[in-house]
Amino acid sequence: MSEVIDILISASFWAAVIRIATPLILATMGELICERAGVLNLGIEGIMVIGAFAGWMAVYQGLPLWGGVAVAMGAGMLFGLLHSTLTVPFGLSQHVVGLGITLLATASASFAYRLMLPEVTSPPKIEPFQPLDIPVLSDLPFLGQAIFSQTALTWAAFAMAGAVALVLYRTPLGLAVRAAGENPAAVEAQGLSVTGLRMGAVMVGSGLMAVGGAFLTLSAFSSFFFEMVNGRGWVCIALVVFGAWKPGKAVLGAILFAAFDALQIRLQQTPIGAVLPYQLFLAAPYILSILALVLMSRRAEVPAALMVPYNKGER
Amino acid sequence: MTAEEKAQVVLRLDGITKRFGALTANDTINLTLRQGEVVALLGENGAGKTTLMNILFGHYVADAGGVEVFGHPLPPGNPRAALAAGVGMVHQHFTLAGNLSVLDNITLGTKGLWSLGSGKSAARAKVKALSRDFGLVVDPGAKVGRLSVGERQRVEILKALYRDARILILDEPTAVLTPQEAEALFATLRRATALGLSVIFISHKLHEVMSIADRCVVLRHGRVVGEVDTHTTDKTQLAALMVGGELTLPRAEARTPGAPLLSLERVSTPDRGAVPGLKDVSLSLCAGQITGLAGVSGNGQAALADLIAGLALPASGQLALRGSAVVGWSPRVALAMGVGRIPEDRHHTGSIADFDLTENAVLEAYRTPRFSRRGWMDWRAARRFAEELIKGYDVRCPGPDTRIRLLSGGNMQKLILGRAMAPDPAILLANQPVRGLDVGAIAYVQSQLISARDRGAAILLISEDLDEIMGLSDVIHVVSQGRLSPAFPRGSVAVADLGLWMAGQGFEGGRHAA
């Protein structure tokens, strides 16, 4: 037990929590926007992979880091366009299209990698985002290291979560997006385009997912590996449910999951880690997340028209 | 037409024609609406009323003809243009988002999508002012999902008024209201017309048309078959226009009831979310008697229906069949004990849409020796049975191999009716048996219910339509918030009194002996 307390009071633990939570927050916000508009985007896992790859490759080819972020976002939006074209105007199964997008995006990253770096055995490194040095705050004892030692992309992620909440709840656009996910007929009856709203939401959401993936290559690590997304996309889908489709709660969920993850990594290196099999530690964040999901999402209000294609003129 | 009269015309439909495949839903329809008047659009289901209004509002594009609002032609297929021109529509199925607040639902789409801020305080003030002016009381902060049906309708009307609608279209607005709520709606409409708005009121209820409308346009099979001033006509004349001939609905004559076949003694069931369960309900269904259960939907009818159908058990109290308490109550036991069921929702619980008529005909009896032996289906017998039902109950269809989803509501209901009647049930649960049917099918289904009663069946008729309840029932109960009113024998109670019970009055002051 004392090992756990030691970990919890160390500044590096909290720095790790925020770092691990960043891609989850970005991609969860992306998924949340899609689902609020009524589209389940199971392409998230693949879109994160393509984002990680495209951002890294752009920077490796000489673009600045923010240029890499923009390229990742663009790549994500492109796959979002494909997803939403198939699921919104054509009304195809969101499950099948989403899984197809995940396979296609993952394979595209792999294909482009082989095409662009044919002779390379280990992926080249880039110079990633550096921790932002904030005057005064970064020099604070404990807090300075625990919280104010993050890269610009992390700050951007948290700002983005705030922006998503603000747009969804405080603007006419957000109201229209939420209504498209609740009762598209109501949106249509007001002369707004359900198709436009849903496609726009899926594209913006997919862009955010891709930036979440790009955080891994441009900030957390300095290179690209095929397995690096490693199921984070699926975790984000669970986090949306955990957060009851509300941005604030979803961010909390991402931080909670990240804390479990950071904790298990550190626990493996303690005497407890020598006793218990390491697989148990790896599984712990997922098991705890499932438990939290069950407890938290009981009274969640699912967008009523989630996964229901809307066909104009059909009753 | 003088210049003055012409200036008053706010809406003109000119030669509207709309075809869906071989069906002509609207055939060169002309209609004018003047300022400050209420025009009723009267017609049976499928007469083309809703299609016409959907064209006016831009949900459909007409094959021919045009719409003029305040003298300007309306571009077809554009709801936004209709809204901007001052046309507001209250759909039969509300277009509200349940998880959003009243205010959010009202303001949706009224501000440019890219404008910042929500302007909620100004919107709230405007909604409050409209509520006051038109007598539409509703809390702007409440979630729509928690509102009653009547309140939701007020939100829909507010939505139209908020957009400065000058022409209100109401599609079957009273179908879901208690008589008192309908009266309140009419009061609102009178205020609206006094303020210069014009109203199109779609209905198939004659007495409402007579009481609210100035003029009445009657549609039949997609054509205008008559246009009459309501001050110079009567219900009989309108009914004849509507169905194209005289048609009277069956009325059951009084009879002496037999022994109670099914009885509930002080039964309670748990609430289901916002829908109340039964509260200490005692009820007897007697042989040769139709017991009518009136009430606004969502007041415990489903709980009672599930109980009798075998889908639910009482949390407390007792359910007795022919005087002895039931054991192991379930749908299968209920069927075996002679309970026939006409479920409320023929599409979702009454049939399996993609099964053919044969399969749907034997859904409740496929295990009986008539249709299966040693675990094998006898499809030939099943098909014969389906053919019997099709013939015996006048189910209009291509044949027993047709998927039931392709049938009209009336024909689907006739098959379900036949399925329930075939084993000659001692007890019959008829839950909203004629909802959404046209007058011809209604007359048929109701006459079948009466003849089942005359054969000695105990029938529970659940309906929201008071005319139906009053016309068929030997005794009437009202259910409100899960409580059951005392029994009113035929002819001993007026519609207005039933309405008061439906609104929950009369239950206070202790339990009634039922």
At B146-194, the pLDDT tens digits run 888 888 899 999 999 999 999 999 988 887 777 788 888 999 999 999 9
B380 pLDDT exceeds 80?
yes
B339 or B513, greater pLDDT: B339
Report pLDDT for B514: 39
Instruction: Show which of residues 184-203 on chain A sit within 8 Å of chain B, judged by CB atoms.
Output: 185-192
Question: How far is the C-alpha of B335 from the C-alpha of B330, rounded, in Å?
Answer: 9
Report pLDDT for B493: 87
Q: What is the pLDDT of residues B258-295, one digit of tens each?
A: 899 999 999 999 987 777 899 999 999 999 999 999 98
Answer whether B114 sits within 8 Å of A176, measured CB to CB: no
Answer whether A186 sits within 8 Å of B78, measured CB to CB: no
Domains and CATH numbers, chain A: 2-114+149-296 (1.10.3470)
Least-confidence region, from B46-55, B97-106, B427-436: B46-55
Answer whether B95 sits within 8 Å of A178, measured CB to CB: no
Work out the minimum CA distance from A250 to partner chain B, whole angstroms.
Answer: 18
B47 or A55, greater pLDDT: A55
Average pLDDT, chain A: 91
**Does residue B116 sit at the A interface (CB-CB below 8 Å)?**
yes
Report pLDDT for A71: 98
The verdict on residue B360 lying in a domain is yes
Q: Which of B244, B246, B204, B199 is nearest to B90 (CA)?
A: B199
Report pLDDT for A203: 98
B512 pLDDT exceeds 50?
no
| Residue that finishes a domain, picked among B200, B218, B243 | B243
| Residue that finishes a domain, picked among B208, B243, B278 | B243
- Do B130 and B272 belong together in one domain? no
- Do B150 and B298 belong together in one domain? no
The residue among B89, B101, B113, B155 with the most chain A CBs within 10 A of its CB, best to mutate, is B113
Element (H or E) spanning A111, and its range?
A: helix A94-116
Answer whether A183 sits within 8 Å of B113, measured CB to CB: no
Report pLDDT for B345: 83
- Do B428 and B334 belong together in one domain? yes
- Do B372 and B417 belong together in one domain? yes
Report pLDDT for A232: 93
By C-alpha distance, the chain A residue nearest B273 is: A299
Q: pLDDT category, B208, cuts 50, 70, 90?
A: confident
A315 pLDDT exceeds 50?
no
- Do B90 and B132 belong together in one domain? yes
Count of CB pairs separated by less than 8 Å, A with B: 88
Tell me the average pLDDT across B86-96. 86
Tell me the average pLDDT across A103-111. 96
Report pLDDT for B504: 83
B440 pLDDT exceeds 80?
no
Q: pLDDT category, B513, cuts 50, 70, 90?
A: very low
Q: Which of B290, B342, B263, B261 is nearest to B454 (CA)?
A: B290
Tell me the average pLDDT across A8-32. 94
Q: pLDDT category, B484, cuts 50, 70, 90?
A: very high
B437 pLDDT exceeds 80?
no
Average pLDDT, chain B: 87
Tell me the average pLDDT across A139-154. 88
Work out the minimum CA distance from A23 to partner chain B, whole angstroms.
Answer: 28
**Does residue B152 sit at the A interface (CB-CB below 8 Å)?**
no
Work out the minimum CA distance from B168 to partner chain A, whole angstroms.
Answer: 14
Let me know: does A232 contact A24? Beta carbons within 8 Å: yes
- Do B214 and B163 belong together in one domain? yes
- Do B95 and B39 belong together in one domain? yes
Q: Helices A194-215 and A11-36 meet at what angle, rounded to 10?
A: 160
ipTM value, please give it: 0.76
- Do B418 and B448 belong together in one domain? no
Q: Helix, strand, or coil here: B135?
A: coil
User: Which of A171, A183, A301 faces B96 most closely, judged by CB atoms?
Assistant: A183
Report pLDDT for A112: 94
- Do B219 and B77 belong together in one domain? yes
Tell me the average pLDDT across A135-147. 85
By C-alpha distance, the chain A residue nearest B51 is: A313
Angle formed at CA B50 by CA B49 and CA B53, multiple of 5 degrees: 90
Tell me the average pLDDT across B87-101. 86
Report pLDDT for B159: 92
Q: What is the pLDDT of residues A160-190, one digit of tens each?
A: 999 999 999 988 899 999 999 998 988 888 8
0.80 exceeded by pTM? no
**Does residue A313 sit at the B interface (CB-CB below 8 Å)?**
yes
Sign of the Cα torsion B272, B275, B279, B284 reads negative
Q: What is the pLDDT of residues A223-264, one digit of tens each?
A: 999 889 989 999 999 999 989 999 999 999 999 999 989 998
Q: What residues in A contact B102, CB-CB < 8 Å?
A: none
Q: pLDDT category, A312, cuts 50, 70, 90?
A: low
Q: Which of B49, B37, B77 is nearest to B190 (CA)?
A: B37
By C-alpha distance, the chain A residue nearest B91 is: A189
B389 pLDDT exceeds 90?
yes
Instruction: Show which of residues 129-188 on chain A sit within 8 Å of chain B, judged by CB atoms.
Output: 170-173, 175-176, 178-179, 182-183, 185-188
The verdict on residue B290 lying in a domain is yes
Residue for token pair 């000659």: B424
Tell me the average pLDDT across A135-146. 85
Read off the tokens for B485.
Answer: 């009113």
HEC assignment per residue over B181-217: HHHHHHHHHHHHHHCCCEEEEEECCHHHHHHHCCEEE
Let me know: does B249 contact B235? Beta carbons within 8 Å: no
Instruction: Identify the domain containing residue B514 by its residue range.
Output: 251-338+423-514
Q: Please state the domain count of chain B.
A: 3
CA-to-CA dists, residue A293 to A23, A95, A281, A284, A302, angstroms: 19, 21, 19, 14, 14
Report pLDDT for B248: 64
Q: What percent of chain A has pLDDT over 90?
A: 63
- Do B14 and B158 belong together in one domain? yes
The verdict on residue B156 lying in a domain is yes
Least-confidence region, from A15-19, A305-309, B21-25, B296-300: B21-25
Q: What residues in A contact B90, CB-CB < 8 Å?
A: none
| Residue that finishes a domain, picked among B422, B446, B464 | B422
Task: Give every CB contact of residue A22 below 8 A, 6+ residues apart in sequence.
Answer: A150, A153, A154, A157, A212, A215, A219, A220
B412 pLDDT exceeds 80?
yes
Q: Helix, strand, or coil here: B271?
A: coil
**Does residue A311 sit at the B interface (CB-CB below 8 Å)?**
no
**Does residue B373 sit at the A interface (CB-CB below 8 Å)?**
no
- Do B9 and B85 belong together in one domain? yes
Report pLDDT for B1: 45
Let me know: does B480 contact B502? Beta carbons within 8 Å: yes
- Do B53 and B127 belong together in one domain? yes
What is the CATH classification number for the domain harbouring B44? 3.40.50.300
